């Protein structure tokens, strides 16, 4: 599988070149959010806002009212936890074109409880006017700017950084409101988000090899959450639906799926894989994914429980799964 280094860093510079209305605001995390190249390329469109997130959000609202599109960059926790009232009153209520790029979603950081955004989707999903997007690979990150900019209102993005896998073909960009269909199957429907998608792809491949049909969808739009393809996939699952997210099992993808199931009268079991209603702690990503059951092995175990069958898939088998970038547009035609 192709790994891509810091795709946001160069992509933002290229993308913003002929968009003078785009300004970038940094909460003293310019290097950590990959915007140093932007600062260098367009110093007059870069605003150092210091450690003052409440002011940064209000300032962004003011700029947006005057026709600029501020792209806020900091760690997610500092936005939705420290400045929620400002996000609501200064941006969401007036439905302004402000883009919140929240880095370090879930347990992607060893920074511990203070830095891990495990409940951002749950906190922000009830906000009227707010669109919530999530990145799962380099292609998601690269196509996020166009996707976010097309939304006429505020957008919150769970953003990934650093070395990222390319799970989706570059020619297969993220489309707001549409889940990517990665595999087809009628035994289990699997909805995954963020960094969980790579693990889910690994597990789904192994499960398919054992004859378990997995309808796997990668969800990049967490709000609005009304994709007909998701509803259809959930309705067609023989054994039930599994959600897998880098977030608390409360308030995020799992809860959104539960609302959709109940709202459409789809009587299927729902298994929510995620951080099990606990705060996490500082440790490596693989360690935490294993500890909280967010990895491929945990998913296999949940599928086994759901279908009532042991499949004999061990860690070695999962590690041996080779992933290549998929083009879900091709896949859609093939399905």
50 binds another protein (CB under 8 A): yes
60 binds another protein (CB under 8 A): yes
Among 11, 30, 69, 86, indicate the residue that binds another protein (CB under 8 A): 86
Name residue 132's beta-bridge partners.
Answer: 156, 223
61 binds another protein (CB under 8 A): yes
CB neighbours of 279 closer than 8 A, spacing ≥ 6?
A: 113, 116, 118
CB-CB contact of 146 with 15 (8 Å) = yes
135 binds another protein (CB under 8 A): no
67 binds another protein (CB under 8 A): yes
Could you tell me which of 165, 148, 170, 149 has the C-alpha nearest to residue 157?
148
Comparing CB distances to another protein, the nearer of 58 and 240 is: 58
Instruction: Tell which positions 261-280 bind another protein, by CB under 8 A.
Output: none
Comparing CB distances to another protein, the nearer of 59 and 100 is: 59
Radius of gyration of the chain (CA): 19
Comparing CB distances to another protein, the nearer of 57 and 242 is: 57
Exposure string of 145-179, with b = 16+ CB inside 10 Å and e = fewer, is: bebbbebeebbbbbbbbeebbbbbbeebbbbbbbb
Q: Three-class SS of residue 156?
A: strand
**Of 8-16, 92-100, 239-247, 294-302, which segment contacts another protein by CB under 8 A?**
92-100
**Of 50-58, 142-150, 196-204, 227-235, which segment contacts another protein by CB under 8 A?**
50-58
Task: Tell me, by CB under 8 A, how many residues bind another protein.
Answer: 30
Q: How far apart are CA 324 and CA 335, in angstroms?
A: 18
* DSSP codes of every residue in 226-276: --HHHHHHHHT-SSEEEEEEEEETTTSHHHHHHHHHHHTT----EEEEEE-
Helix, strand, coil percentages for the chain (3-state, nearest 5): 40, 20, 40
52 binds another protein (CB under 8 A): yes
Closest CB 18 distance from another protein, rounded Å: 17
Instruction: Tell which positions 144-163 bind another protein, by CB under 8 A.
Output: 153
Query: Helix count (H) and strand count (E) of the chain?
Result: 14, 14
Among 35, 64, 148, 222, indicate the residue that binds another protein (CB under 8 A): 64
Among 57, 138, 188, 222, indicate the residue that binds another protein (CB under 8 A): 57
126 binds another protein (CB under 8 A): no
Binding site for another protein (CB under 8 A): 47, 49-50, 52, 54-68, 70, 85-86, 89-90, 93-95, 128-129, 153
């Amino acid at each position: 599988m192709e790994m891509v280094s810091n795709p946001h860093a160069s992509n933002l510079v290229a993308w913003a070149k002929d968009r003078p209305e785009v300004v970038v605001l940094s909460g003293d995390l310019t290097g950590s959010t990959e915007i140093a190249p932007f600062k260098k390329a367009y110093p007059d469109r870069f605003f150092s806002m210091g450690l003052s997130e409440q002011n940064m959000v209000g300032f962004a609202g003011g700029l947006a009212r005057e026709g600029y599109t501020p792209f806020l960059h900091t760690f997610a926790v500092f936005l939705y936890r420290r400045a929620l009232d400002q996000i609501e009153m200064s941006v969401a209520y007036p439905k302004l074109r402000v883009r919140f790029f929240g880095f370090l979603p879930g347990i992607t950081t060893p920074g511990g409880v203070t830095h891990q955004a495990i409940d951002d989707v749950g906190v922000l999903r009830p906000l009227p006017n707010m669109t919530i997007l999530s990145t799962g690979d380099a292609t998601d990150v690269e196509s996020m700017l166009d996707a976010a900019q097309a939304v006429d209102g505020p957008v919150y993005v769970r953003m990934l950084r650093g070395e990222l896998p390319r799970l989706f073909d570059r020619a297969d960009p993220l489309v707001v409101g549409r889940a990517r269909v990665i595999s087809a199957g009628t035994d289990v429907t699997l909805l995954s988000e963020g960094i969980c998608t790579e693990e889910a792809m690994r597990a789904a491949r192994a499960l398919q090899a054992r004859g378990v049909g997995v309808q796997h969808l990668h969800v990049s739009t967490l709000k609005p959450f009304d994709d007909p393809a998701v509803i259809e996939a959930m309705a067609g699952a023989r054994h039930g639906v599994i959600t897998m997210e880098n977030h608390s099992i409360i308030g995020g993808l799992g809860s959104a799926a539960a609302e959709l199931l109940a709202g459409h009268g789809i009587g299927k079991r729902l298994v929510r894989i995620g951080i099990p209603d606990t705060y996490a702690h500082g440790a490596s990503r693989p360690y935490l994914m294993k500890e909280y059951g967010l990895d491929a092995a945990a998913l296999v175990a949940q599928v086994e429980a759901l279908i009532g069958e042991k499949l004999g898939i061990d860690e070695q088998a999962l590690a041996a799964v080779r992933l290549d970038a998929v083009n879900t547009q091709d896949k859609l035609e093939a399905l």
